[in-house]
Each structure stands twice: as structure tokens, then as C-alpha cells.
Structure 1
Amino acid sequence: MSESAVTKLIGIVPGVLWVVFATVVFCVLRPAIVAQLHRMQSLRTPFGEADFATNMTLIGEAAAQSQAQTGVSVTIRARRAAVSRLDHAADIVRGGRILWVDDHPEWNRAMVQLCERVGMTVDTARSTDEALGILCPHGYDLVITDMRRGDDGQAGESLADEMERRALDIPIIVYAGHFDPRAGVHPAFFAYTTGVDGLVHYIVDVMERVRFSEAV
């Protein structure tokens, strides 16, 4: 073998060795890599692609209903982000209990179905009196209320006042077509929103706190 051939061979050997080394490492780590990829895929859609698509349809219906009432639209990206978070929080929200107070429950049908699809129980009430007849200190994890009912533009605040008087320490989310925080925000309100995406995020926020308090 000529000297030039030997020189070329010496130059090729390191590259070949690196290829062999990389192949060996991949073969050794392949099971762990595949398992990690499967885990990441399951984290993306715990409920499955079909369920994710159905949840997107429901939040789309809810967004359309909300837009008809408020004129404010929710982008597809914002809806997808909300459903993705709900999807990833499956174990957190499952088993949660909501009391939804609204004199027009038909406007919330799609959102109620969405909550129920992820394993939550949703009861409804049309008035403050009906809600107070249902509520008990440990019966619900969350109350969702509108602000105006009939001629009462402060019905949501009245509900919060009555809950405080009865020592019903339950987080309250105001979900209303029109809400002006400049007029003041009741201290008992956990959050307020006019959008379905914001509502989903706040529901998960409340349930995260509930699960944390149960764990300590």
C-alpha cells in the first residue's frame, strides 16, 4: 500500500469511528428516546385527537355566542391555547364542581359541555336566591356568575355579598358580556373575564389552587 493511500486511510478512520460511536449510542439509547417521544405525544393530547377536536368545536361555539353578545371575537390561536391548557390539566380539573349562576343558561351551553367533557360537574342556577339555596361550604370548588340579571346590574356583586355573609369561601369568577373594572371590583371576585379563553384559564387556575390546598 502506497504512502499516500495510508495517509488517506488515516484521515478517514476518525470519521468512521465517529459514525460507529454515534450508531452504538443511538442503539443503546433508542428505547429511552422512543419512550420519551411517546410521553411527549401523550402530554400534548391526553384526551386524544378526536376529543381535542371536539373541545375546539365547543369553545368555537361558545366564542361565537359570546361575540354575538359582546361584539368581541376570540382568535383561533387563543381558543387553541385555552383548550390545550385544559387538555394538559386533565388530572387537575377532573372531579371539580362548578355552580354556574346566570339567568340565561342557554348562552353557556357549549362551555358547560366543555367542562363536563373534561370530567367536571356543572350545576346551574338562574338567580342569587336559587344559587344560595344550592351552595354549601364544601359543595363546590368554584362559582361562575354573570353580572347583570334582569334589571339588577349588580347581581354578581349581590351574590358575592350574600356568600360572604354566609361564610361561603368559594372562588368566584365573573363571566359577563360587559364588565367595567373601573367601577370597582368586589374583593371576593377571584377574576373577571368577557372571553371564553380567559374563562378556561381561570377555571384551571382555581382548580390548581384547590388541588394544592388538598395536598398540604
Structure 2
Amino acid sequence: MPKIVDRDARRAELAGALWRVVYRDGAAAATVRSVAAEAGWSPGALRHYFTTQTELLAFAMEHVIDQATARFEARTWTGPVPEVVRQMLEEVLPLDRQRAREAEVWLLLAARTRTDPAAGTLMRRADDGVRRASDLAVRALAAHGSVAPGRDPALETARLHALLDGLTLHALLHPDLMPPERARAVLADHLDGLRHERPD
């Protein structure tokens, strides 16, 4: 009888190998050859699942989205609304090694969006998640009275989304200039500033 292959189990095995490479060596090191070696497979066997590094990174990005969702759902969010909002938004920033490695995948995949439609589709999914988090944050702060009445919620959502992306990029590219404590301070200052009317 032909051997029955559990593709879901094999992909889970590959996900483990992929993230061991990413966590140990960085996202750029996650190639078909390196992940195959980590999994104890031949590159040819791995190419039955992923033929290019972009496909590997897309698979890794799906894992990033799942991991971020799991972290949100696993935590118990209690305390004053502004504090909870700040803590929730910090979850999308690369403030520790795991999240920094996840953000590296985001950055490498983002660089491929102009030439690879599949990468673009997955990046839009990831961006939509950050946009929804930004919208939820602004709405929660507004309901709490922590957003000045004259501020446009849609504009503030866009500004917050851009800030989160910018902090992520700076933390990855210039960690000496944007260490975790500074990223936290910039985010906290921005959120606190929403209490005040925008200057004319």
C-alpha cells in the first residue's frame, strides 16, 4: 500500500524547524536549504511544500499572525483603560527577542510585496490586524474620555497605525536608537497626547 502522508503533521514539523532557524539565526537565514537541514529533510523533499524563500516567509508570517492572536487571547487584560490599551498595543511591537524575530519576517515579506502577489495578500492580512488593533484602541480610549472631542477617530487610527509600523521599523533597523524602553515611551506619549485638542 502507498504510504499515507499527514500533510498537516509534516507542515507542523516544518513550522518547528523554520522557527528554530528564525529564532536562532534570524529571518533572512530561513531558506529552503537551511530549513530542510534543520528538519532533517533533503531540500528536494522540502520543495514539495515550499519552492521559494518567499513561500517559506509567507508560511512563517501565518505563524506570526497565529502567535500574536494567541498571545492576545491568553492574557487577562485588567486595569485602567488607558493602561490596558497601551499594553495591548505593545504586543505588536518588537520589544523582546521573539517579537523581534517575528517582525523580521514581516519586514522581509514586506520587501517582496511589490513583486510577489502572494506576499502582498498576506501582508494586507497582517496590516489589517494592526489597523483593527489601532481602531479598537482609539475607540476604547474615546469611550473612556481619553480622546479629545475635536479629534477625528479615523485620522487618529491612521496615525496610530503609522506610529506602530514606524516604531517597529526603527526598532529593527536601529535598535541602539530605538531600544524597547524608548519605543514604550514614544507609544505612551502618543496615547497620552490624544487627550488634548490638536493645535490649530
What TM-score comes out, normalization by structure 1 length? 0.25
Q: Tell which structure's C-alpha radius of gyration is larger.
A: 1
Between Structure 1 and Structure 2, which shows a larger proportion of strand residues? 1
What TM-score comes out, normalization by structure 2 length? 0.27
Between Structure 1 and Structure 2, which shows a larger proportion of helix residues? 2
